[in-house]
């Protein structure tokens, strides 16, 4: 296994680990995300639902907001996302691959533009070896973001 494959495997493992912390009592659909920064460190997030459904947060948004709270949004390098339906015991399994929702695609687009580099988005299943790699431009064509407002990574305040 190449060094790149090992790095991707570690990122996927971190996303799967975050899946276990999902708070999804309403949808019973857990999602975990992991963001690798340019220094190799990994920040994770899991979805966090709320009884007022509109206030729920997706895993990707939680992870990227955490990165931003650390002042590291420009350091985002790649993201892994995993999700699936929860069993009665809270476990998540299966080999179906999910991809970020529309809101998360927009949030990832923001991170990509502020990082100033294309971000790989690895979508994986809770179990198995299936992996699909996406780019923001493929998931969100004709995206609106900071560049449309004249904001570049160097101008972030």
Active-site residue numbers?
A: 60
Residue that is written with structure tokens 């729920």 in the block: 56
Using CA atoms, how far residue 67 sits from 35, 42, 60, 72, 156, in Å, is: 8, 9, 11, 5, 15
- 60 near 33, Cβ under 8 Å? yes
Q: Could you give the CA distance from residue 105 to residue 155 in angstroms, rounded to a whole number? A: 22
User: Which string of b and e fits 130-156 if b means at least 16 CB within 10 Å?
Assistant: eeeebebeebbeebebbeeeeeeeeee
In this structure, what DSSP letter does residue 87 have?
P
In this structure, what DSSP letter does residue 86 have?
B
């Amino acid at each position: 296994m190449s060094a790149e494959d090992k790095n991707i495997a570690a990122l996927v493992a971190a996303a799967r680990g975050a899946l276990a912390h999902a708070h999804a009592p309403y949808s019973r659909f857990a999602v975990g995300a992991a963001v690798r920064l340019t220094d190799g460190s990994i920040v994770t997030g899991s979805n966090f639902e709320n009884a007022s459904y509109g206030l729920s947060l997706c895993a990707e948004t939680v992870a990227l907001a955490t990165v931003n709270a650390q002042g590291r949004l420009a350091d985002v390098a790649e993201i892994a996302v995993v999700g699936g339906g929860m069993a009665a015991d809270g476990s998540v399994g299966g080999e179906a691959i999910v991809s970020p929702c529309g809101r998360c695609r927009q949030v990832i687009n923001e991170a990509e533009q502020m990082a100033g580099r294309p971000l790989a988005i690895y979508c994986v299943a809770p179990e198995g070896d299936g992996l699909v790699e996406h780019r923001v431009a493929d998931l969100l064509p004709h995206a609106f973001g900071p560049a449309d407002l004249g904001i570049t990574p160097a101008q972030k305040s």
